[in-house]
A and B are shown apart, each in its own frame.
Chain A
Amino acid sequence: MKVGVVTFPGSLDDVDAQRAVRIGGNEAVPLWHGDHDLRGVDAVVLPGGFSYGDYLRAGAISRFAPVMTEVVAAAKGGLPVLGICNGFQVLCESHLLPGALIRNDHRKFVCRDQKLKIENSRTAWTASYQEGQEIVVPLKNQEGFYVADDQTLDRLEGEGRVVARYVDVNPNGSLRDIAGITNERGNVVGLMPHPEHAIEDLCGPGTDGLGFFTSLAAATLSA
């Protein structure tokens, strides 16, 4: 499958995400924030970083980048979209996912190998995992505190839309230990930690993150 990776001004992890896409068995297609063009891709990754310098609010300006008009329309049509870290912030600002990400409750940048529990393996991005499987991937964020009103949180939990939860340590204050969520359809996933940094034994805490990039094929085959 062709997986587009968007580069915004200030994206940091776009090249790592492209590499993860390739190691996951898919073709990586670079997408540029200023283009009204998804270049025929079958899925899109919005990578981590500090797009537009995080000015105004993290993800607030990226949301209106020309390429996002196309991503939002395609996501509403069912295109698989994965937003990692800053990408998650962009998805919330775009209203493709509910809630928002604010500054960590302890006010410090956090960078650690984080244990997560995969709670929904039915999305386009998590089909390679088992429900309840625990994985360790890097987490690095300043504004990773997931907030939403109680009604939204109840709904996310009731509908099984919490994709991943923090285990042992809640690194940023996120309500109900939420690390990642999905939309009703299960094609859009936002995740604060970084699976693209845990795909090879050479660096990072292991290869637990690779499943996010092999899941597309698994989801397609089972459909």
Chain B
Amino acid sequence: MARYVVDVMPKPEILDPQGKAVLGALPRLGFDDVTEVRQGKRFELELAGEATDEALAEVRKMAETLLSNPVIEDFTVHVEGASQ
């Protein structure tokens, strides 16, 4: 069993209202030094078998078709535990 991680983030030029809400809340809690917050999503997928390049390519395809929307989001994939 190998675990793959897909990190999805809103593209830099896209307004991130959720990140803005978090940015607004932090100073109210006394965290005054935060200048920017972007909120994304992390997916952890377990696939049968050892981690392979083919499986990683398959996960990348999942990220492109379903897990992210390329119009508004960027993504990265990696194998959990592997050096990035």
Q: Give chain A's interface residues, CB within 8 Å of chain B.
A: 56-57, 60-61, 64, 92-93, 98-100, 102-107, 145, 147-149, 173
B14 — nearest CB in chain A belongs to which residue? A147
- Chain B interface residue number, banded: 10 to 19
* Cα(A145)–Cα(B14), bound, Å: 11
Main secondary structure of the interface of A (DSSP, over half): loop
* Cα(A145)–Cα(B71), bound, Å: 13
Pair B18/A99 contact, Cβ less than 8 Å: no
B77 in contact (CB, < 8 A): no
Pair B18/A103 contact, Cβ less than 8 Å: yes
Q: Give chain B's interface residues, CB within 8 Å of chain A.
A: 10, 13-15, 17-18, 20-21, 66-67, 69, 71-72
Pair B15/A102 contact, Cβ less than 8 Å: yes
* Cα(A173)–Cα(B69), bound, Å: 19
Name the B residues within 8 Å of A104 (CB-CB).
17
* Cα(A106)–Cα(B21), bound, Å: 9
If A56-B66, A64-B66 touch, whether A103 touches B71 (CB-CB below 8 Å) is no
* Cα(A61)–Cα(B20), bound, Å: 26
